[in-house]
């Protein structure tokens, strides 16, 4: 960015006819207002100028950009956090705090919050004496620092605790979820919530009311003093909040407990002391690998949002075509989930299935999911009725005539899929896009009978669609850039994280997942109890262990995926004989009441009742010689083959960029974000150490052999993520 552009003013200062002064922020060259160094300098200069003239009745801080008060701190600045010494960081924070403190020292101030008011933006608003939020849908107030492994560092924890009480403050800052204007008003975070059209006028009225008498002074005194919380209350709050946090994070994330500690201890002292405590806690968190990893994952997400899915991903390309008339073929588990995600994203969607019973079964589930109110944790019946009119079902493919994108999700049989894809192609307009949700069929093979394979690609969703954010967009040999870019953009409109991959067995996710699953079964055959393997995997940070995952996916599905991988990479990912044997014994996993484990009931919520004596009988037929089994070895055996496969994927050019591997494992497999992804985790160990850890596993064969890229990095001391 040229220096001239960088220095363009980020705010204007305007006196009003009735004696107030408005500071209106508009940060140039950004889509959102963010708190850049320039904003802070401009604000300081504006306050200096105001202090020299005759003081206005009050100061109104608002945004000149619709939908964006301040979306937070400037991420480029955050990026450098971990390079700073603690003392350097604390003095930077102190400078920011001093600036914000000026907003409650001179003339009374009020923030008019319309749009995103997040992180440092909310801290700025909290530093004002008063706040008005708008009722608009785009108004969101939140402190998402915890999601980056940090806590608010500009006095946010201190003011929040004094404003809404330490308990709610801990809950709000440790969860990091934003709230709308009305909720913020109910919490006491803002003083009023009004329609956007009257927000400025309302702010002036509020200021006028508060400046009469000593209300502002009393507020300022209250904000400077300790918060009155007795010891019993504090202990209770500490115990309950700690339990909730442990349940949510398994103790792997240091920010939530640091927020609790900072707010509780800070409430008992003066605001000035609490602010020093906050800065010190911030500096400690910023130095943790978890914060660095979370920040990296956040940046990967940002990069993904800008990437159109073609070329290198960072060059300017024509805006992708916007798809507006989607349809899904196949109303099974996946097709239903895909249709529901379209409804949630505001689309009208067509749904075709040859089987009228399947359609009838799917509709209530789709509407339930689409109208699910996340905060109320129940379906909103009014929304469900409204959405029903936006879901058009049919048993005939002729209903697809008006679609501009059709997602095929019928049974996983090559011949059936090819036949259905040809029929779809005949039914739709020549420029409409066709995507297949196949999990194992090569896109190249499915494209064979199509007249125009340029508009065809894979669009691989994960189960359950509502929860799993990854979508693999798979290029066939003829798929055009325009098709890929349109499908990538469409996936983003569904709130998904699309990663573009080349056609290859298992694509990306199943390719790196299968070695992990396979290794787990090998260990079970060696006599390691399944629950121990699952425990080690969860201890590593995975949401569930590999054996639990087998039972969740279904052993019949896993069997099929395993055969595909065996055919392609049998030297290292063999199909285990255990899986077909369990399928033959009708042990299909949760859905049949038993797989590796036994369950009370069937379905995804079935509870484990036993570790599966039924499975043990099957397993006993396929023993392997027992090996040394430290927990650490179990973890190495699970995750190192996953890494080796990811390195092969990189070498084969299956993904365009290694960063996509980290995003994919986090979004599709729940790989722990605090480890930064598979490659970032590998970096935390180092290539040379990984080679060393593979040595005692060498006799297990090719699957534990270092790949050339690993050996090169071990030699050069290079990093996996560079």
* H helix count then E strand count, the chain: 31, 21
For the chain, what is the radius of gyration of the CA atoms?
A: 28
Please give the full DSSP string across 342-398, using - where no structure is assigned: HHHTT--EEEE-S-HHHHHHHHHHHHHHHTEETTTTEE-HHHHHHHHTTEEEESSGG
Give the nearer residue to ligand NAD in terms of CB position, either 311 or 356: 356
537 binds ligand NAD (CB under 6 A): no
Q: Where are the beta strands (DSSP E) in 494-580?
A: 497-502
Give min distance, CB of 368 to ligand NAD, in A.
17
Stretch that binds ligand NAD, among 63-71, 300-308, 437-445, 648-656 (CB under 6 A): 437-445
Give the nearer residue to ligand NAD in terms of CB position, either 177 or 412: 412
Q: Which of 584, 511, 537, 572 is nearest to 704 (CA)?
A: 572
How far apart (Å, rounded) are the C-alpha atoms in residues 256 and 326? 41
Give min distance, CB of 405 to ligand NAD, in A.
16
Stretch that binds ligand NAD, among 352-360, 471-479, 629-637, 647-655 (CB under 6 A): 352-360
Identify the residue whose tokens are 């997602």: 407
Stretch that binds ligand NAD, among 48-56, 104-112, 436-444, 579-587 (CB under 6 A): 436-444
410 binds ligand NAD (CB under 6 A): yes
Size of the site for ligand NAD (CB under 6 A): 24
Handedness of CA 503, 508, 512, 515 (dihedral sign): negative
425 binds ligand NAD (CB under 6 A): no
How far apart (Å, rounded) are the C-alpha atoms in residues 504 and 415? 19
Catalytic residue among 308, 342, 460, 490: 460
Give the nearer residue to ligand NAD in terms of CB position, either 497 or 679: 497
592 binds ligand NAD (CB under 6 A): no
Stretch that binds ligand NAD, among 116-124, 153-161, 434-442, 679-687 (CB under 6 A): 434-442
Among 409, 469, 480, 537, binds ligand NAD (CB under 6 A): 409
User: Other CB atoms closer than 10 Å to residue 295's CB: what's the count?
Assistant: 21
Site string for ligand NAD, 213-252 (x = CB under 6 A): ----------------------------------------
How far apart (Å, rounded) are the C-alpha atoms in residues 503 and 588? 29
Give min distance, CB of 373 to ligand NAD, in A.
25
Give the nearer residue to ligand NAD in terms of CB position, either 45 or 416: 416
Which DSSP state fits 408? E
Give the nearer residue to ligand NAD in terms of CB position, either 266 or 330: 330
439 binds ligand NAD (CB under 6 A): yes
Which DSSP state fits 313? S
355 binds ligand NAD (CB under 6 A): yes
Residues in 179-208 at the binding interface with ligand NAD, rule: CB under 6 A? none
Among 368, 412, 574, 657, binds ligand NAD (CB under 6 A): 412
What are 372's strand-pairing partners?
379
How far apart (Å, rounded) are the C-alpha atoms in residues 462 and 445? 21
Stretch that binds ligand NAD, among 297-305, 319-327, 406-414, 491-499 (CB under 6 A): 406-414
Stretch that binds ligand NAD, among 118-126, 410-418, 690-698, 710-718 (CB under 6 A): 410-418
420 binds ligand NAD (CB under 6 A): yes
Give the nearer residue to ligand NAD in terms of CB position, either 32 or 395: 395
Give residues with Cβ within 8 angstroms of 695, minimum separation 6. none
How far apart (Å, rounded) are the C-alpha atoms in residues 399 and 402? 8
Assign 210 to helix, strand or coil: helix
18 neighbors 201 (Cβ within 8 angstroms): no
Residue with smallest beta-carbon separation from ligand NAD: 332
437 binds ligand NAD (CB under 6 A): yes
Name the phi and psi angles at 392, rounded to 5.
-105, 115
Among 145, 353, 519, 645, binds ligand NAD (CB under 6 A): 353
* 460 catalytic residue (yes or no): yes
Length of the chain (residues): 722
Residues in 312-341 at the binding interface with ligand NAD, rule: CB under 6 A? 329-335
Give min distance, CB of 440 to ligand NAD, in A.
6
Give the burial string for 373-396 (b: 16+ CB within 10 Å, else e): eeeeeebeeebbeebeeebebbee
418 binds ligand NAD (CB under 6 A): no
354 binds ligand NAD (CB under 6 A): yes
Among 140, 288, 438, 483, binds ligand NAD (CB under 6 A): 438
Stretch that binds ligand NAD, among 206-214, 350-358, 674-682, 701-709 (CB under 6 A): 350-358
How far apart (Å, rounded) are the C-alpha atoms in residues 425 and 519? 41
Tokens representing 298? 């956040």
What are 394's strand-pairing partners?
352
Give min distance, CB of 508 to ligand NAD, in A.
13
411 binds ligand NAD (CB under 6 A): yes
User: Other CB atoms closer than 10 Å to residue 42's CB: what's the count?
Assistant: 21
Q: Is 559 left (phi over 0), alpha (psi -120 to 50) or beta?
A: alpha
Longest Cα separation, the chain: 90
Stretch that binds ligand NAD, among 163-171, 403-411, 663-671, 695-703 (CB under 6 A): 403-411
407 neighbors 329 (Cβ within 8 angstroms): yes
Give min distance, CB of 354 to ligand NAD, in A.
4
Please give the full DSSP string across 503-517, using - where no structure is assigned: S-TTTTHHHHHHHHH
Give min distance, CB of 479 to ligand NAD, in A.
18
Site string for ligand NAD, 453-492 (x = CB under 6 A): --------xxx-----------------------------
Give the nearer residue to ligand NAD in terms of CB position, either 116 or 329: 329
Measure the N-to-C terminal CA separation of the chain; round to a whole number of Å.
Answer: 25
368 neighbors 394 (Cβ within 8 angstroms): no
Give min distance, CB of 207 to ligand NAD, in A.
56
Assign 73 to helix, strand or coil: strand
Catalytic residue numbers, as ranges: 460
Binding site for ligand NAD (CB under 6 A): 329-335, 352-355, 358, 409-412, 416, 420, 437-439, 461-463
């Amino acid at each position: 960015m040229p220096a001239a552009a960088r220095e363009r003013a980020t705010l204007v200062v305007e006196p009003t006819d009735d004696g107030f002064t408005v500071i209106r922020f508009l940060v140039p060259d950004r889509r959102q207002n963010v708190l850049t160094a320039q904003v802070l300098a401009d604000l300081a200069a504006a306050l200096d100028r105001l202090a020299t003239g005759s003081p206005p009745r009050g100061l109104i801080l608002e945004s000149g950009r619709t939908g964006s008060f301040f979306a937070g701190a400037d991420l480029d600045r955050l990026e450098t956090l971990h390079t700073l010494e603690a003392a350097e960081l604390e003095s930077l924070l102190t400078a920011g705090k001093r600036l914000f403190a000026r907003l409650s020292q001179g003339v009374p101030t009020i923030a008019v919050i319309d749009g995103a008011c997040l992180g440092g933006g909310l801290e700025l608003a909290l530093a004002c004496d008063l706040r008005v939020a708008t009722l608009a849908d785009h108004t969101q107030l939140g402190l998402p620092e915890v999601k980056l492994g940090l806590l608010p560092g500009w006095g946010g924890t201190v003011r929040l605790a004094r404003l809404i009480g330490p308990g709610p403050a801990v809950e709000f800052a440790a969860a990091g979820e934003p709230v709308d204007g009305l909720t913020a008003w109910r919490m006491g975070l803002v003083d009023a919530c009004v329609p956007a059209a009257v927000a400025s006028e309302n702010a002036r009225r509020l200021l006028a009311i508060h400046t009469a008498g000593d209300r502002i002074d009393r507020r300022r005194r209250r904000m400077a003093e300790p918060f009155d919380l007795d010891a019993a209350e504090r202990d209770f709050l500490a115990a309950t909040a700690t339990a909730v946090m442990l349940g949510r994070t398994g103790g792997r994330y240091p920010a939530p407990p640091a927020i609790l500690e900072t707010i509780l201890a800070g409430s008992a002292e003066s605001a000035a002391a609490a602010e020093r405590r906050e800065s010190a806690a911030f500096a400690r968190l910023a130095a943790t690998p978890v914060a660095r990893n979370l920040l990296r994952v956040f940046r990967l997400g940002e990069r993904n949002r800008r990437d159109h899915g073609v070329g290198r991903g960072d060059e300017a390309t024509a805006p992708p075509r916007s798809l507006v008339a989607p349809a899904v073929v196949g109303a099974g588990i996946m097709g239903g989930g895909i249709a529901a995600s379209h409804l949630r994203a505001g689309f009208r969607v067509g749904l075709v299935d040859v089987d009228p019973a399947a359609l009838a079964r799917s509709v209530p589930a789709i509407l339930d999911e689409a109208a699910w109110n996340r905060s109320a944790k129940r379906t909103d019946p009014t929304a469900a009725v409204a959405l029903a009119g936006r879901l058009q079902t049919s048993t005939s493919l002729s209903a697809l005539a008006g679609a501009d994108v059709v997602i095929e999700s019928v049974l996983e049989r090559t011949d059936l899929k090819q036949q259905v894809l040809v029929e779809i192609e005949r039914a739709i307009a020549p420029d409409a896009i066709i995507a297949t949700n196949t999990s194992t069929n090569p896109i190249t093979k499915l494209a064979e009978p199509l007249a125009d394979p340029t508009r065809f690609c894979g669009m691989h969703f994960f189960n359950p669609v509502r929860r799993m954010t990854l979508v693999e967009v798979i290029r066939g040999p003829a798929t055009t850039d325009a098709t890929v870019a349109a499908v990538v953009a469409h996936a983003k409109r569904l709130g998904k994280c699309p990663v573009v991959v080349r056609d290859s067995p298992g694509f990306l996710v199943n390719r790196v997942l299968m070695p992990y699953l396979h290794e787990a079964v090998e260990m079970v055959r060696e006599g390691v109890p399944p629950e121990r393997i699952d425990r080690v995997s969860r201890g590593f940070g995975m949401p569930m262990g590999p054996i639990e995952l087998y039972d969740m996916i279904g052993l019949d599905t896993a069997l099929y995926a395993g055969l595909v991988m065996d055919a392609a990479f049998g030297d290292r990912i063999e199909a285990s004989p255990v899986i077909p044997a369990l399928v033959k014994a009708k042990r299909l996993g949760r859905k049949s009441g038993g797989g590796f484990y036994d369950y009370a009931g069937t379905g995804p919520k079935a509870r484990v009742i036993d570790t599966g004596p039924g499975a043990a009988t099957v397993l006993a037929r396929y023993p392997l010689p027992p090996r040394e089994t430290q927990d650490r070895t179990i973890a190495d055996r699970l995750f190192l083959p996953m890494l080796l496969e990811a390195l092969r994927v990189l070498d084969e050019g299956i993904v365009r960029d290694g960063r996509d591997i980290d995003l994919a494992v986090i979004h599709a497999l729940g790989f722990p974000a605090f480890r930064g992804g598979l490659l970032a985790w590998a970096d935390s160990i180092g290539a040379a150490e990984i080679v060393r850890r593979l040595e005692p596993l060498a006799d297990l064969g090719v699957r534990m052999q270092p790949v050339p890229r690993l050996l090169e990095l071990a030699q050069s001391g290079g990093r996996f993520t560079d």
